[in-house]
Chains A and B, each alone.
Chain A
Amino acid sequence: MSRGGRGGFRGGGGGGAQSGAMQLVSFDLLKDLGSGSLFNVQTALFPEMDVPMARKPNNSEATQWKHKDECIQLIQASPFYLVPPPPPPDIERYSDRYKKRKTKQSLREIRSDMDYFPEELHSILDPNKRKRRKMANGSGDAYAQLQALMEMEGKDGGEGKDDDEDGEKKEGDNPEEDYGDDYEDEEDLVDDNDYAQNYFDNGEGDDIDDDDGDGGDYF
């Protein structure tokens, strides 16, 4: 059995540390060959070890694992377990029709009390209070910002200050629907692709004429 002689794959490199030609051999074949093919050198890191086998699980342990498994399934089915969305399909495959992802309950549908969330998040969670968020962000003009501040102070006394802080710190606490807006903002900011145009010469101008390609592009 491949478990026998050397210490098995427990401490070893397994999938990562394969040598050149070995990368093409599939793992199943490797198991049959035994680990002698990877571990030809006896080093201090991987000494010969006699790994003891664990006792078989007794009845109560087997039932405990079943319960734990159910628990894990429950958690994964709950709306709190966030997974990244799957990549968009490149070509249409036959198995697509069998691989539909079950839509989970979304986080918004969970009944919760606003009291339990810190005050800074209230405007985000409750869609009614959203409008004041982006005030301090928009114009770079100092005068316009001052104007906006004065207006808001006129509208609602002391609360204006809180909301300004709200608008300014919109880092990690964005809910799902605001995520799209932020993403767009970031993309707009990174419009200056002139670097690629200016400095990355793809080797096109090399053969023809040195002066022509790179002439006026270095600012």
Chain B
Amino acid sequence: MAAAGCITAVLPEHSRSSTDRYLAAEEKEAEKYMIATAKDLQAIKAAAHAQIEAETSMQEGIGMKRKAEDLLGPATKKHARKDGDEPDIEVDPDVFFAINYEKYTMMFRNNAIVDYATERINHTAGQVVKAFLDHGKAKMKNLREEDSPSASPIHIVNMIPSEMLTQDDIVLQPDPLDPNKKPGLQEVVRAYIMLLKTDQAGFVKSKDEMGANQFAINFAKLRDSMKRRVFEGIIREKYGVATCRIARILIEKGKLDESQVQKLAMLPPKEAREKLALLHTKGIVEIQEVPRSADRAPARTFFLWYVPLEKCYQELLVDAYRVILNLQQRKKEELKIRSRLLDKLSREDVIQNMDLLGEADKAELSQMQKVIQRLETSKKRMDDIVMIFRDF
């Protein structure tokens, strides 16, 4: 697990505050100078920064030593012993480890991306995206990256089981020489990658820097697409299809006048006005006034409607937190009204023999478990939304 980066080593340096460390490094650097000019001070600061960065980035391999000889040495972890192929890294037993939450968030994020691809295109496309992400898994350290490590189609072909690709999910140009030949694996994969590239959600983009026809998953664009998808979904659920249409037009086109909105959305003018006003009260659209004359008379100004996306996303995030709060409160309340039952359940004789509870108690117990499961599942779904908006 340590080799996979799921847990990281904790050093005593982590317990000291980073500002302290930085100041100490600065002092060390400053000792070299007798009298420091302004430029020297800046140089000191930069050098101290660089030193701290180097220290933190060196911590990847800490806590593990390369094994000298025998693979079946006594100090290996039990898990590794069960596998046949053992890595030649051993864990230093004196070092403390902590869970590396970023790595897990990355795994969740990758799963969310694969689900999105599957939903939008088809199952095989999801597998292609998954292969991309698996390929670069070891090298993804940072959540904020723009692109995943790049891969070429040949790598992808190696990673996907071949039965999946011969499912004829994708329609390709038939080979001019032999129209009945099934497309080869490489062509199918290449076609899928092209499809992913041209898709509006921007899954894949080409990185031709090394000239070897490499592709990478485009996280930056994906972030936007996923947030937008959730946002539009919520508007559609709450306010109806027509209102959602208006919102999408405004997001894509920018700032529009009311009559333009009405034309593009294909709604009668009164309805367009009502829906715009509704969105305005909910804070999803805002007005930008463009005065025509020097005095800002309302009769002679343009009023342009637009969607402030970042603000809306923040609002959505706060709303998601509120929902989770409500769910948690409801769960607490449900547990509170069943406190007598919970007391009974925590007794030792009941834990060993569930039949001591009466019929009504058992029914109540199963009802409670069902309720708690529903609440927790809803919380988990809201948490996925929070992940997309906050940690992605």
A residues engaging B (CB < 8 A)? 9-10, 14-15, 27, 54, 57, 61-62, 64-65, 68, 95, 98-100, 112-113, 115-118
Contacts and interface: CB of A to CB of B under 8 A. Distances in A.
Interface stretch (B193-201, B221-229, B343-351): B343-351
Given A10-B326, A54-B374, A57-B377, A118 B347 contact: no
Interface residues of B, number: 23
B373 interface: yes
Interface string B340-383: 00000011111000000000000000000000011011101100
Contacts of A117: 15
Given A15-B333, A116-B15, A57 B373 contact: yes
B235 to A, nearest CB: 15
B10 interface: yes
Given A10-B326, A27-B337, A115-B12, A61 B347 contact: no
Contacts of A116: 10, 12, 14-15, 96
B67 interface: no
Contacts of B15: 115-118
A62 B381 CA distance: 12
Given A15-B333, A115-B12, A116-B96, A54 B377 contact: yes
Query: DSSP class of B's interface residues: helix, strand, loop or mixed?
Result: helix
A57 B371 CA distance: 12
B155 interface: no
Contact of B373 (A9, A65, A98, A113): A65
Contacts of B373: 57, 62, 65
Given A98-B349, A100-B348, 5 more contacts: A9-B333, A61-B380, A95-B347, A99-B347, A116-B10
Contacts of A14: 333
Interface of B: 10, 12, 14-16, 96, 326, 330, 333, 336-337, 346-350, 373-374, 376-378, 380-381
Contacts of A68: 376, 380
The listed residue with most B CB atoms (<10 A of its CB), out of A15, A57, A95, A117, is A57
Nearest to B373: A65
Given A10-B330, A113-B12, A118-B15, A65 B347 contact: no
Q: Shortest 3 CB-CB distances between A and B: which pairs?
A: A115-B12, A57-B377, A98-B347
17 contacts: A9-B333, A10-B330, A15-B333, A54-B374, A54-B377, A57-B374, A65-B377, A65-B380, A68-B376, A98-B349, A98-B350, A99-B347, A99-B348, A112-B96, A113-B12, A113-B96, A116-B10
A54 B378 contact: yes
Nearest to A58: B377
A113 B9 CA distance: 14
Contacts of B376: 65, 68
Nearest to A57: B377
Contacts of B350: 98
Contacts of B14: 116
A65 B373 CA distance: 7
A219 to B, nearest CB: 49
Contacts of B346: 99
B11 to A, nearest CB: 9
Contacts of A10: 326, 330
Contacts of A15: 333, 336-337
A28 B104 CA distance: 42
Nearest to A72: B376
A118 to B, nearest CB: 7
Given A10-B326, A113-B12, A118-B15, A98 B377 contact: no
A115 B12 CA distance: 6
A9 to B, nearest CB: 8
A62 B373 CA distance: 8
A54 B16 CA distance: 46
A62 B333 CA distance: 22
B375 to A, nearest CB: 9
Nearest to A8: B330
A172 B167 CA distance: 65
A68 B377 CA distance: 11
B116 to A, nearest CB: 16
